[in-house]
Structure 1
Amino acid sequence: MKFTIGNFLVQEIRFGANTSYKKGLLTINKSEALAVVCEDDHITEADLYLVHPGDDVRLLPVKDAVEPRIKLDGAPLFPGVTGQMVQCGEGITHALKGCSVVVVGQQWGGYQDGVIDMGGEGAKYTYFSQLHNIVLVADTDEAFEQKELQKKNSALRRAGLRLAEYIGSAVKTMEPEKMEQYEMVPVADRVIPLPKIALVLQVQSQMEKPGYNTLCYGWDCNHMVPTFINPNEILDGAMVSGSFMPSSSKWSTYDFQNFPMIKRLYQEHGKTLNFIGVILSNLNVESDQKERSTLFVVNMAKTLGIDAAIVAEEGYGNPDTDFTSCLVALEDAGIKTVGLTNECTGKDGRSQPLVYMHEKADAIVSCGNVSELIELPPAKIVLGNLQALARDGMSGGWADDELLGPSVRPDGSIIMENNAMFCGDQVVGWSTKTVKEF
């Protein structure tokens, strides 16, 4: 499979008469863009804002982020979700780099929603502060979305997907400024005398009710068993982020589209390793489900002749058992394995960082502590609803605390756990965090 991304680097975004791109300037027809958003009758109110790195702007509750793209063959950007089922990972897709569509709730947040600060101290905690962002702030008529702690956010998230495709259409017929090419020849045809490496992605899929989990070609990942997938498919829209997971642990749709760990393995392919591909796994609740997924991952790895694996976990807590069990089972099969995850120590720092630990899981890269307290000053502009952090059960925020007080203070400053920072742990490979020894 050969997949090409034609890139256009966005350096400035404005509203204007036509949706177009020229020499780094992206212009968006706001009324047309909002018409695309409001194709879903559940959207009751919507507006668009443009924010840039360094702006004194706070966004919350953030639902998802999506890179604007368009496929040149007319296929939907997210097959099985925004259109018919077609193969991802082949052909040419054009992408607007350096920007994203960020979906924000106008009123209601929930456990899985997050915060992005575009400027100041808070900007360093999330990759998305580095991008020029088209911010969709919208509300829906779904009463369920207002009252429940766990929200599907379906109408809002899908509106963001449609909007990203509409904006991407600005560059459909243009000559790209830079090209990325990714090609995977069949495993059986490779003669590469280097260690065979697989990337195991444990995507968020704990909810048994439909509508919350990460989607693969529109299919709820809770309902699948681990499967072998070409990495090109992941980079080309096969995966859509789910709504369930504390925000710092989430992998946004933008993350899947640009997965840094996949791109890094591609860079080393044929030089230091033989990148076999991706084993797409899931995170489960019941013990037998966890055991079944581990069995499938290990059997695929052995069948493919894998020498080493990287296992990345989207989440923490209950999923730590899936994560550690997979590491141990791969090691038992003679496959050297490295894990990528965050950790949770609790506000007092005394909790065991992973729910389940094992002496054989002795090579783990920590991408940060979800419980780390973050204190940030007021922002000049808030897009969305600041009170969502305290009022709506956002993971990492609280209405009041005996020692720390409320997450949202009267002056607009906030205190929260890293849990509430949108995709803040950056397990996919964006992270610039480092370890300090005391």
Structure 2
Amino acid sequence: MKLKIGNFYVKDIIFGETTKFEQGILQINKEEALRVVYEDENITDADLIIAKPGDKVRIVPVKEAIEPRYRVEGGPVFPGVTGELMQAGNGATYALKNSSVLVVGKKWGGFQDGLIDMSGEGAKYTLFSELLNICLVADTNEDFEKNEQQKKNKALRWAGMRLSEYLGKTVANLEPEDIEVYELNPLTKRTEKENMLPNVAFVMQPQSQMEEMGYNDLVYGWDANHMLPTFMHPNEILDGAVISGSFMPCSSKWSTYDFQNYPMIKRLYEEHGNTINFVGVIMSNLNVALEQKERAALFVAQIAKSLGVDAAVVAEEGYGNPDADFIACIVALENAGIKTVGVTNECTGRDGASQPLVTLDQKADAIVSCGNVSELIILPPMETVIGDLESLARDGLSGGWGNDEILGSSVREDGSIIMENNAMFCGDRVSGWSTKTMVEF
């Protein structure tokens, strides 16, 4: 497979009479763009608001992030989701870099939603404070979900994807500023130099725990809960084959933007042919029952062994129950003679004294920590709130609360907030964005 991603670098976003991309400026006709949003009759109220780095803006509840893109040869940006099923990872795709579509709840949030500050102390916690964001702030008539802590948010998330495709079309007839090329030869046709290097695979564990459909990450539109571990080309992930779900404590989430730009995959590509022979991606899953977890781990190890993998990186989307899948996978790979590194965040409790992962094993002796989901974050009031600040306390966001005997409400009377890192949108950057470092004591 050979994927070319043509990049257009967005310098500013404004509203105007036409939707176009010119000299680095993305101009949006709001009325026309909202018609794309309202194509779903379940959307009852919607607006577009632009949020830029440095703005004194707080955005909550954030549900999803998507990079605007355009598939040059035709077809949907997200095969099997926003259009017909087709192979991703081949051909050319154009991307509007430095920008994202953020899907934001106008009146209600849920366990899987998060917060973004575009400036101040809070901005350092999430990548999305560094981007030019088109915030789709909307509500739906999906009343059956409003009192549920965990929500599918389908109408809102799909509207965000349609909007990102609509914006991506602005560069359809333009020449990109630069082109990234991602290509791996078939395993049986690698060069002598590549074959002399250690064979390395990336094992991804996207969120797939929910047995009821509609919450989990989707692979080509297929609910990942139905999957057994399978071998995928890394280009597929970078080119829209996988979209984010709607069940995950938010700091641990992989947004669709993360899948589209997955830093760990790109870094493995950089090392390919130099220090490693990048075999590809083993797409695993996260399960509920212990037997399911053990079965998936055995599948991963068998695939890796059959491919001649010498070393692997395992990354999990989540913590808690998924830690059992994560550790089981590492142990199965180590038992197969494959040196393995894990990438995850921790849940050590607010006092930092709890076991960081639900389950551990001596063979899991090389784990990269991306942070503590329980870390308390206190942030001052922000001049402007996009969305609904009260949702952080009212609607059961994973890092917010309505009342605590000691700490009170997550949202204070003056508009300042206290919350766990859990509620920071994609805050722990498990996909590889993290700028966090370890401190020795």
Alignment of 1:27-426 (within 5 A): 27-191=27-191, 192=194, 193-426=196-429
Residue 24 of structure 2 corresponds to which residue in structure 1? 24
Distance apart, 1:165 and its partner CA: 0.3
Quote the Cα distance in structure 2 between the aligned partners of 1:159 and 1:252: 15
Quote the Cα distance in structure 2 between the aligned partners of 1:93 and 1:414: 40
Is contact 1:6–1:92 with CA below 8 Å preserved after alignment?
Answer: yes
Quote the Cα distance in structure 1 between the aligned partners of 2:92 and 2:122: 36
Is contact 1:144–1:151 with CA below 8 Å preserved after alignment?
Answer: no
Superposed CA deviations along residues 176-201 of structure 1, whole A, max 9, x for unmatched, are 00110001111111132100000000
Quote the Cα distance in structure 2 between the aligned partners of 1:55 and 1:437: 34
3-state SS in 2 of match to 1:390:
helix
Distance apart, 1:403 and its partner CA: 1.2
3-state SS in 2 of match to 1:429:
coil
Quote the Cα distance in structure 1 between the aligned partners of 2:390 and 2:424: 15
Letter in 1 for 2:81: V
Superposed CA deviations along residues 365-397 of structure 1, whole A, max 9, x for unmatched, are 000000000000011000110010000000010
Quote the Cα distance in structure 1 between the aligned partners of 2:50 and 2:396: 27
Is contact 1:394–1:420 with CA below 8 Å preserved after alignment?
Answer: yes
Letter in 2 for 1:383: I
Letter in 2 for 1:168: G
3-state SS in 1 of match to 2:284:
strand
Quote the Cα distance in structure 2 between the aligned partners of 1:263 and 1:99: 19
Q: Does 1:429 align with 2:432?
A: yes
Letter in 1 for 2:307: L
- Give RMSD over aligned pairs: 0.6
Letter in 2 for 1:84: E
Superposed CA deviations along residues 47-94 of structure 1, whole A, max 9, x for unmatched, are 000110010100010000000000011110101100000000000000
State the aligned residue count: 438
3-state SS in 2 of match to 1:14:
strand
Quote the Cα distance in structure 1 between the aligned partners of 2:154 and 2:345: 27
Is contact 1:57–1:380 with CA below 8 Å preserved after alignment?
Answer: yes
Distance apart, 1:145 and its partner CA: 2.3
Quote the Cα distance in structure 2 between the aligned partners of 1:362 and 1:26: 47
Quote the Cα distance in structure 1 between the aligned partners of 2:228 and 2:400: 34
Is contact 1:345–1:369 with CA below 8 Å preserved after alignment?
Answer: yes
Deviates more, 1:304-313 or 1:343-352: 343-352
3-state SS in 2 of match to 1:282:
coil
Is contact 1:64–1:241 with CA below 8 Å preserved after alignment?
Answer: yes
Is contact 1:388–1:394 with CA below 8 Å preserved after alignment?
Answer: yes
3-state SS in 2 of match to 1:375:
strand
Quote the Cα distance in structure 2 between the aligned partners of 1:379 and 1:220: 38
Quote the Cα distance in structure 1 between the aligned partners of 2:214 and 2:373: 25
Letter in 2 for 1:378: P
Percent of aligned pairs sharing the same letter: 67
Quote the Cα distance in structure 2 between the aligned partners of 1:188 and 1:354: 38
Quote the Cα distance in structure 1 between the aligned partners of 2:362 and 2:291: 22
Letter in 2 for 1:174: L
3-state SS in 2 of match to 1:158:
helix
3-state SS in 2 of match to 1:316:
coil
Superposed CA deviations along residues 309-350 of structure 1, whole A, max 9, x for unmatched, are 000010000000000011111111100000000000111222
Is contact 1:108–1:145 with CA below 8 Å preserved after alignment?
Answer: no
Quote the Cα distance in structure 1 between the aligned partners of 2:64 and 2:291: 31
* Structure 1 gap ranges (5+): none
3-state SS in 2 of match to 1:331:
helix
Distance apart, 1:256 and its partner CA: 0.1
